[in-house]
Amino acid sequence: MKELFNTLSKQFELTDYQSKRDNQAFVTATSSQLVSLLTHLRDIHGYTHLVMVTCVDWLEDGKFQVTYLLHNYATKTDLGIFVFIPRDNPVMDSMHHLWEQARVYQRELHEMFGIDFPGSPGVYKPMILEGWQGPPPMRRDFDTKVYCEDTYSNRERQHKEPEQYMKEQLYPED
């Protein structure tokens, strides 16, 4: 995997090589080179399977880390590509033209984190949060408690002791 990193580094701006196993590595790339890098990995180096696309919110640093995990069936290796983008204007190039399933991941990241993927088919259609009016709920600054208090009515809670409740349910005549 280190040889692949060295080869790719001659053509792309890659940093932060990390490997904890012989068959898996992670590198950091720039967002401006991501489409070229992923195309090169797919077409030249055999990373034909997009395993997943996910996101980490680095709230304190003001950025998102978008991770693309690729798999090469011939070499049985996985390569993760980290790309950092600003939280205040999170825009990424769409990868749906490279892998059809990227559309689903991009819709999810748009809905949950507010990352924009211009040109991605259906990216603005609701996927999970149909009718959602609040901010993207997976951002770390989203306050679930405040959202629930503002959105839903408060109701009295009744506490029942489990042992007594089960007796009443199982033996109502006693």
Q: Is residue 37 exposed (0-12), middle (13-18) or buried (19+ Cβ within 10 Å)?
A: buried
pTM for the full model? Answer: 0.83
- 65 in Cβ contact with 80 (< 8 Å): no
Structural domain span for residue 109: 2-153
Residue 159 within any structural domain of the chain: no
The enclosing domain of 87 has a CATH number of 3.30.460.80
Q: 45 in a domain, yes or no?
A: yes
Classify residue 167: in a domain, yes or no. Answer: no
Most confident of 19-23, 32-36, 169-173: 32-36
Q: Does residue 121 belong to any structural domain of this protein?
A: yes
Q: Are 136 and 112 in contact (CB under 8 A)?
A: yes
Is 165 a domain residue? no
pLDDT value of residue 140:
95
- What pLDDT, on the 0 to 100 scale, is given for residue 173? 79
Number of domains in the chain: 1
For residue 128, give the nearest of 151, 105, 101 by alpha carbon: 105
- pLDDT value for 92: 94
Distance spanning both ends of the chain, measured CA to CA? 70
Please indicate, yes or no, if residue 170 is contained in any of the structural domains.
Answer: no
- Beta carbons within 8 Å of 126's beta carbon, 6+ residues apart: 111, 132
Within a domain: residue 81? yes
Q: Specify if 145 maps to a domain.
A: yes
